Amino acid sequence: MSRRTGDSAADFVAAIDSALGLLQDYADQSGPSDAKALAQPLPSLLEQCQTLLAEAEVQEPPPVRTLHHLACTGGTLISRCIAAQPNTQVLSEVDPLSPFVPGGFLPTDLIGLSRFSSRPADQETQIQLFLAGLRVLYDQTTRDGQHLILRDHSHGHFNFSDTVQERPSLREIVSRAFPVKSLISVRHPFDSYLSLQDTGWVQHFTPPTLDEYAKRYHAFLDTYRHCERIRYEDFVADPEAIMQKICNALVLGYSPDFPDTFYAIELSGDSGRRGDVIGPRPRRTHPQTLEQEARDSESFMNLLTRLDYSLD
């Protein structure tokens, strides 16, 4: 079990005081000139040690970083590029309350096991299980000088089932026990809706219409309204500049080599058009009736305005 910072600091000060006592005893037994020479630098050394200890005690603990985006919005590409930055550890598709947890054989998943036990755990118990495990990872990455980053699986919260679930977000859960730095990324909602259609995931919510998708997108933005936001299109147009913005928002070191190294990093959730080159993609083919459906949806047109997009 690791010792608390306060205990270590107290032990260190006690050791310094003990050493000073021994030196003082020696000085008492020596001549005046020897004692003067011996004792001269000690106050300065002690003051420096005490200053360093005081600074260490008031230093804020490192934050847990959280990334939030809806499915089919380019989140995997951005997350892989973040994982290519120095000293990062990215956990992909995290959601302790996800409705996607299956039943059956779950020998390593305490949350899943607790849900499907003979007496299923309630939501608060599942949250506490998650935070307890996160504490172990947080302490380990902190000792190793790494930055812990959680990539949210927002699809299960906002685009699954008949309604948006009324439950704590990942950021709210993590912030119970840790300081948090968060970032959301978005993509043109018309393009992400087309991608959801291609994957078949548009059937995860009811009704599977563009208007309903826009309403759920608004709910996502409302939940993370205080977080820094970037656009996928801006990232692929100028990845170096936007990645520096991301690193500043999340307080991460920046590596200019990430466009040449991110391809070696694999993360779950790569559901879109895969590739190891950062660049814009043409819009998927679609019926013109869908564009008219977009124009007829007040929620969708308001969403475009909110995200600073146009339909074209």
pLDDT in tens, 110-147: 999 999 899 999 999 999 999 999 999 999 999 999 99
Q: What is the pLDDT of residue 36?
A: 52
Q: How confident is the model at residue 217 (pLDDT cuts 50, 70, 90)?
A: very high
Q: What local confidence, expressed as pLDDT, does residue 5 receive?
A: 45
Residue 24 binned pLDDT confidence (cut-offs 50, 70, 90): low
| pTM for the predicted model, two decimal places | 0.80
The domain 64-307 having CATH identifier 1.10.10: the answer here is no
Query: What's the pLDDT tens digit per position in 38-92?
Result: 445 555 666 776 766 666 556 789 999 999 999 999 999 999 999 999 999 999 9
Q: What is the DSSP string of 56-118?
A: HHHSPPPPEEEEE--TTSSHHHHHHHHHTSTTEEEEEEE-TT-TT--SS--TT-HHHHHHTSS
User: For a pLDDT cut of 90, what percent of the chain falls above it?
Assistant: 71
Per the structure block, which two tokens stand in for 124? 């608060």
Going by C-alpha positions, the residue among 250, 243, 281, 280 that lies closest to residue 84 is 243
Cα–Cα distance between 272 and 77 in angstroms, integer?
10
pLDDT on residue 2: 43
- Which sequence spans correspond to the domains of the chain? 26-59, 64-307
Q: What is the pLDDT of residues 253-294, one digit of tens each?
A: 999 999 999 999 988 876 655 567 899 989 999 999 999 999
Place of tokens 């600073």: 308
Q: Which amino acid, 1?
A: M
pLDDT over 70 percentage in the chain: 79
The residue with greater pLDDT, 149 or 42, is: 149
pLDDT for the residue numbered 275:
64
Angle at 164 between CA 109 and CA 298, to 5 degrees: 150
| pLDDT greater than 70 at residue 164 | yes
CB 232 within 8 A of CB 78: yes
Q: Read off the pLDDT of residues 222-255 as tens digits, 9 standing for 90 and up.
A: 999 999 999 999 999 999 999 999 999 999 999 9
